[in-house]
Amino acid sequence: MIQQNPVLRVCISCRKTYDRKDLLKITKDYKQGIMLQKGMGRSAYICKSKKCYSDSKIKKKLQKALKTFLEPEFVEIFEKEITSYNNNPH
């Protein structure tokens, strides 16, 4: 019997460990810039708890984790994405 271990990642906001599937991945793609749930490059993870993604410091934390500057529009896209993610459990 093969048992698959979940891939665990830490939320950059609450620092709790979650299954990769339950986190939103933000990647600084080396070609295309910031991407959600895809891309290759430095990545940060955030859990779907409202407390985390609506944290006023989340942008700063992301910038630090990704070592990049995030456009103000990014936060808007990111919030939309995570909200729709929460509304579509799969």
47 interacts with Zn ion by CB under 5 A? yes
Measured between alpha carbons, how far is 28 from 63 in angstroms, rounded to an integer? Answer: 10
Q: Tell which one of 10, 14, 35, 65 touches Zn ion (CB under 5 A).
A: 14
Spatial contact of 34 and 70, defined as CB atoms under 8 Å apart:
yes
Q: Using the rule CB under 5 A, which residue among 24, 52, 66, 70 binds Zn ion?
A: 52
| Shortest distance, position 17 Cβ to Zn ion, whole Å | 10
11 binds Zn ion (CB under 5 A): yes
